[in-house]
Structures are given as structure tokens and as C-alpha cells.
Structure 1
Amino acid sequence: MKPIVQKLPKQASKSFVSTSFSTPLFETPWHRHIENEILYIKEGYGTAIIGDFVGEFTAGDLFYIGSNVPHWFRKDEEKVFCTVVVIQFDKGIFGNTFLNLPELSKINQLIHLNQALSIDYSGQTDLIHSIQKLENTSGYEHLGTLMNLLNTFSVKTHNTVLTNEHINSFDAKGIIDEILEYTFEHFHENIKLEDVASIAKMSVSNFRRFFKLNTKKSYSGFLKEIRIAHACKLLKDKNLFVSQIFHECGYRNITNFNRQFKAVKGLTPSVYRAQIWQS
């Protein structure tokens, strides 16, 4: 799996990266970078792992990912075509004196936030227009547009904080990437912790500590979230019965599936489906 969005090269005439990708190959490994990132999903869908968050991404989603927050985006289907706009900037481009101006206090807080946000831009279609045109701007307009975006993000009250903790450790050898890939390929099967630990070439106890250190969650908890996220996608299909769906998500009986689903989502699969169909 080759990374497409990691640390991206910027043009000599620009202080930060603003670019777009339109490709069926959109997948990123478990990675992080010092740059803050704004990511707009224009087309496509899949699963996002950002820090300790596991959930869906779909067309129209707008994410703000703080410096050094590890993340991984994965398509759900081979044929899915993704179009994304990526903005990456190092907070150092603003300098400490400028950021410490009282008028920029909220922006300063935002760009020093080591967490990730889902940005609510309802009623602000001009915001997305600014994001999409940014790569074709230059000079003051290029930097000024970024400042306007950051200001808008910093004052909005309906943004959703996705990550609970900043992850200080990082797996430089790519083991987590292998584990995530294996989990996505086999989550519908009866995965044993011993098998996953063997991929990492560790004992079960060492693997438990290693995974928790790098993701802030247990492997069993992560696997449950992947399975339930898949169940949420399947529940949108009116032609599938709940009795069919739990098998597709790696559960052997519907009672356990209902219990695990409620533990993650706070409601049963049937109620979750009813809410989707009513919306």
C-alpha cells in the first residue's frame, strides 16, 4: 500500500501545500507529519482512522488534523474513485510574534491543537469554494485564504472533536500499518490475538502494550469499532436483514452483535437503522 497523502512537496513560491488528488488509488498508511492538515473529501467514501477515532469518511466531509496526529484513510471498495483536496501547513510559517497578537488568539489555539476535528460548514458553501480554489491562488491571496479558513474553523462552535488524546508514540517500522491492513482484510473472520501478535513478531502481552501505546486503545476495542463501522454501512441497505449483517461483520451470534453495537453506538442496530431511514 503506497502512501499518496503524507508529507507533500510545496512550490518554491508558496509557504504551504495546497493541492488536490483525483484517483482510484487514494489510500494512506498509518502516518503523521509535523504539518497541520485540512482535508476535504470531494468524492469517494471509506474508513478513517485518526488518532484514537475510527469512523466513516464520505463525500462532503471536511477534516482538520493537528500536527503529529497519526491518521489513515482507506477506501472500502477497490473501484471507489476518490477526489480530495489537501492543505498542509507548518505553524512555523506564521512566526511566534504574529500568532501572539490578541486578534489571533483563537487561530493560535487552533493550530497548536494536537487533535483532529470534523468541521461543520453547514450554510457556508463559500468555505468549500475557498478550499477548492486555493491551489490556484498565489501571493497574498494564497496566504490570506488560509488565514480566513483557519479563522472560520476557530470560531465555529459545532465542530466535532474526533480524537480524545494526543498520541505521543509512533510506530516508525510500519508494524501498525500491517496490523491495520490485516484487520481490514479479515475483520469478518474469527481473528485471534495470537495471529495478530505473530504478524508483529511479538508475544501477545508485548503486542497488547505496543498497540495500546501507538493507538491509545486495545486491539480488541479497535477490532470492535471496525466491525461496527462496517455494520453501520450495511444497515443503510434496506435489502439486508440484521440477521444477515452480523455474519458479515465477524460476529457469530446476533445477541453479541446487538450488545457490541450498542456499546459503541449507544443504541441497537434496529433503532440505528430506523433513525437513518427517517432522516
Structure 2
Amino acid sequence: MSRQANIMHEQLHLVGGSPIKIKKCNYDYFKYPYHFHMEYEIAYIHKGYGTLYAGNSINSFKDDYLVLFGSNYPHMFKSHQDFYDQSPKLRTHAIIIHFQEDFLKESRKYYPEFNGINQLLINSQYGATFGLEGNEQLREKVENITHATGLKRLIELIDILYLMGQSTNVSFLGQQKEKDLLTTKDERLIKVLSKINTEYHKEIHLEEIAEIAGMNPSAFSRYFKQKTSKTLTRYINELRINYACELLIEERLSISQIAYECGFNNISNFNRQFRNITTFNPSDYIKKFSRNISQNEKFKQGIKTV
């Protein structure tokens, strides 16, 4: 089963001919499913915490989380279980900025002053997050752009992208972007990841993967950790759990069926790994977040376009 087939393609409508759309959000919890869109997205979570699913990565987010998603990069914010208790003290406040995939395309192509922004947008295909230290002005700019209109808004966005491009406190959701299967020149790693990324739902043994790499298991374990910042087991489990989240949202299969579909040979191990990676139990995940929620009604609540 193709994982990509289960991702919702969001159609954004940038009104009035403007290349930018900005939303100020005041949610009880995040409700949008795993999705992608042509536009770039800057998401600033001023208040809120939970789990971010992006590409093949699973990461936590909390207050003042700032991220840039590239064009067509699949992602989903999932609020922590605390937010589903409907406590009036817990709200999620966010600023979401969408801008067209061809924004400043010609300027980025021909003018050296835009080299930093151009490289930033290229790297954003991996999802770029910006830490707190050294990025105070960047966050202030993101908050201020909600008050700008017309040409001033365009200039503010360019300033934001410039600061992002200059930031030294930036990381990528795919760990080390250079190690990604799409760009690495390490033929050994390409073979290994190609095997894992297409067969993670099957039983995979360390010895089998090490043999593909032409290494003994001990040496391969060190090599893989150095290349991906994860153990082989963690890497495989994240792929499996990410796939499981998509299947749970669909609500077509039982939890047991999903566990085996994703490559786990017993339900207890699946439940343990699911909670370890997402902080949720699979059953709670189904109850608290379903693609069958009436989106047209719920998504409009707490959203203000500015």
C-alpha cells in the first residue's frame, strides 16, 4: 500500500492576486489531517504542544515553535492529549503564513542578494525549524507581519525569509538533510535506505541490512547511527509508526490489523512503540483525531484570516 496515496492534498486559495495568505489561529486543538500543498508554509506555534508528523519524521513541538515547510512537504500538527480534555485554560495559538511556490522566483534566480533566501527555500523541502536562541527578531517579525498589508506585507515576508536564511540556529526535520536518500552520494547508504524505506513493513534483521552495506553488524550499527543520528531499530520503528498514524486516521482497519500491516509481530510491542514515539495510545489516537471529523465546520472555528 502506498503511504503517499493517503495524504490529503490541500487546495489553498490566495485571494486578490496576493502571493501571501496569513492566518491567526486560536484552537482548542489542532484538527487538520496529514496533508500537503503547493505553497510554502511558515508555522509559528506561539502557545501549544504536541507532536509534529512531517515527511518520514516525528518530532515534538511546544511554545514558540517555528518551522518552515517546503512546497509539497507533507505535515500534520497533533496537539497533546491534554488539549482534548476541553480545559478552558488550554488553547493553541498559532500564526500560519502561506506563500506561493514561485515567490521571488526570478529574483532568486538572477540576483545574488537573494542567494541566502534561495538556498533556504531549497533546504525547506526537508522542513526547517528555528531554535529560540538567536532567533528572537525572527519571531518578532512573524508576529508583526499579521498587522502589515499590501507592499509592507511583502517586504515583511522578505525580511522573515532573509533572517531565516541567515540563522545559525536551524535544524532539519529529517535530521541531517545531507544524509537524505534523495541527495546523498553515499552509494552504500542509498542501498541501505532503499531497502528499509520500501520494506520497513516486513521483518528486517540487522545482519541482513549490514550484509547489504558490506559490513559486520557491529560496524554497520555505528555507521548507520553516524549517518542518520538514529539506531536502525529507531529508524524502522519511526517509519512504521508514521504509517500506522495514517492508517489509524483512515479508520478502515482494526488496531491489530494495522500493527501487522506496519510490520509489528505482536500488538503489545506495537502499542509500546506507538506510545514511545507519539506519546499516545493507538486507541486514544483514533478517539482524539479522526479524518472523519467534519472539517468544514471545525476548521473554521478559531481561524482568522488577516
Q: Percent identity?
A: 23
Is the Cα contact below 8 Å between 1:115 and 1:166 reproduced in 2? no
How far does the alpha carbon of each residue in 1:182-209 deviate from its partner, in whole angstroms, 9 at most, with x for none? 79xx9xxxx54xx1179xxxxx4xx76x
Indicate the residue corresponding to 1:228 in structure 2.
276
Q: How has the CA–CA distance of structure 1 residues 126 and 179 changed in structure 2, closer, same or farther, with 3 Å as cutoff?
A: same
TM-score where L is the length of structure 2: 0.55
Is the Cα contact below 8 Å between 2:45 and 2:62 reproduced in 1? yes
- State the shift of 1:54 in Å: 0.5
TM-score where L is the length of structure 1: 0.60
Does 2:168 match 1:157? yes
Q: How has the CA–CA distance of structure 1 residues 125 and 97 changed in structure 2, closer, same or farther, with 3 Å as cutoff?
A: closer
User: How many pairs does the alignment contain?
Assistant: 200
Indicate the residue corresponding to 2:144 in structure 1.
133
Indicate the residue corresponding to 1:82 in structure 2.
92
Q: How does 1:153-192 map to 2 (within 5 A)?
A: 153-163=164-174, 164=177, 165=180, 178-181=246-249, 192=256
Q: How has the CA–CA distance of structure 1 residues 123 and 102 changed in structure 2, closer, same or farther, with 3 Å as cutoff?
A: closer
Q: How has the CA–CA distance of structure 1 residues 37 and 159 changed in structure 2, closer, same or farther, with 3 Å as cutoff?
A: same
Q: How has the CA–CA distance of structure 1 residues 225 and 143 changed in structure 2, closer, same or farther, with 3 Å as cutoff?
A: farther
Q: How has the CA–CA distance of structure 1 residues 16 and 6 changed in structure 2, closer, same or farther, with 3 Å as cutoff?
A: same
Does 2:267 match 1:196? no
Q: Taking CA–CA contacts closer than 8 Å with sequence separation of 6 or more, which of the two structures ends up with the larger relative contact order?
A: 2
Q: The residue matched to 2:16 in structure 1 has which SS?
A: coil
Indicate the residue corresponding to 1:12 in structure 2.
16
How far does the alpha carbon of each residue in 1:105-140 deviate from its partner, in whole angstroms, 9 at most, with x for none? 121111133110111242443322211121221122
How far does the alpha carbon of each residue in 1:24-49 deviate from its partner, in whole angstroms, 9 at most, with x for none? 14222111111111100011111110
Q: How has the CA–CA distance of structure 1 residues 19 and 225 changed in structure 2, closer, same or farther, with 3 Å as cutoff?
A: farther
Q: Give the alignment partner of residue 126 of structure 2, picking from 115, 120, 128.
A: 115
Structure 1 unaligned segments of length 5 or more: list them: 168-174, 199-203, 209-220, 234-247, 251-279
Indicate the residue corresponding to 1:68 in structure 2.
72
Indicate the residue corresponding to 1:49 in structure 2.
53
CA RMSD of aligned residues (A): 3.7
Is the Cα contact below 8 Å between 1:62 and 1:119 reproduced in 2? yes
Indicate the residue corresponding to 2:104 in structure 1.
94
- State the shift of 1:55 in Å: 1.6
- State the shift of 1:88 in Å: 0.9
